[in-house]
């Protein structure tokens, strides 16, 4: 057979369905006809997936307490530094100590609680975080209001008038070498 006869013969067989393409339809293999042993049901199952990596251990609570404690003191220090710079040290000096203490501690406490709400939940911005952020804004607004009130009601500065001051007078009646005479005013309180 030549090549053209083989092509015609293959075409006739393909049209009759007697021969199938070995790449598209592999021949059926019966059990026992191959030299490979039959597959077990365990071999047909996909290999098990590796176990997932364990989650990192949570940070112990005593370390978080220590971190929150440091954060509180840093924030408290920063509050008074910013308050004196923004509101003015003169106005801060006029405010009663108990108001400064209450506002500073409350603002630092609210800021630490906001940080704790961020750390202890899966999402940073959650219901508790927003609640404590609003508390921080409220206390900061209160601080600004107190500072402004003290600014409006501060006592105006009085000019320096010292009753024990001395006045220098030049004696023009004397000679050219006459010294200035110092006249003391009301030196009864010296």
Q: Tell me if 115 sits within 8 A of 68, measured CB to CB.
A: yes
C-beta separation of 115 from 64 below 8 A = no
Q: How far apart are CA 104 and CA 98, in angstroms?
A: 10
Supply angle C-alpha 112, 69, 114, rounded to 5: 10
Q: For the segment 49-75, what is each residue's pLDDT rounded down to a tens digit? A: 888 888 877 777 888 889 999 999 999
In three-state secondary structure terms, 102 is helix
Rounded Cα distance between 150 and 156, Å, is: 12
24-55 pLDDT tens trace: 555 555 555 555 555 555 556 677 888 888 88
Note the pTM of the prediction, 2 decimals: 0.53
Encoded tokens for 103:
């506002």
State the Cα–Cα distance between residues 117 and 136, nearest whole angstrom. Answer: 13
**Cβ pair 128, 89 in contact under 8 A:** no
Helix (H) or strand (E) holding 52: none
Closest by Cα among 133, 127, 82, 136 to 106: 136
Average pLDDT over residues 161-186: 56
More confident residue, 115 or 11: 115
How far is the C-alpha of 3 from the C-alpha of 109, rounded, in Å?
Answer: 94
Query: Around Cβ 116, how many Cβ atoms within 10 Å?
Result: 18
Domain boundaries, the chain: 61-152
Are the C-beta atoms of residues 72 and 112 closer than 8 Å to each other?
yes
CB distance 139 to 107 below 8 Å = yes
Model confidence over 64-105: pLDDT tens digits?
A: 889 999 999 999 999 999 999 998 888 889 999 999 999 999
pLDDT band at 180 (very low <50, low <70, confident <90, very high): very low
pLDDT(185) > 90: no
What one-character-per-residue DSSP string does 27-95 give? PP--TTSSSSPPPPHHHHSPPPPPPPPPPPPPPPHHHHHHHHHHHHHHHHHHHHHHHHHHH-HHHHHHS
């Amino acid at each position: 057979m030549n090549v053209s006869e083989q092509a015609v013969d293959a075409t006739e067989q393909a049209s009759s369905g007697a021969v199938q393409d070995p790449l598209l339809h592999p021949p059926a293999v019966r059990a026992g006809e191959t030299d490979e042993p039959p597959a077990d049901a365990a071999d047909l199952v996909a290999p098990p997936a590796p176990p997932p990596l364990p989650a990192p251990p949570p940070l112990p609570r005593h370390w978080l307490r220590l971190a929150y404690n440091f954060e509180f003191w840093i924030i408290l220090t920063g509050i008074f530094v910013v308050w004196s710079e923004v509101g003015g040290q003169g106005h801060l000096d006029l405010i009663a100590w108990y108001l400064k203490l209450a506002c500073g501690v409350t603002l630092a406490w609210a800021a630490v609680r906001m940080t704790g709400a961020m750390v202890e939940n899966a999402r940073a911005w959650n219901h508790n975080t927003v609640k404590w952020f609003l508390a921080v804004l409220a206390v900061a607004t209160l601080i600004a209001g107190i500072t402004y009130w003290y600014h409006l009601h501060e006592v105006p500065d009085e000019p320096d008038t010292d009753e024990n001051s001395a006045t220098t007078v030049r004696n023009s009646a004397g000679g050219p070498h006459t010294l200035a005479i110092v006249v003391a005013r009301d030196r009864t309180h010296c």
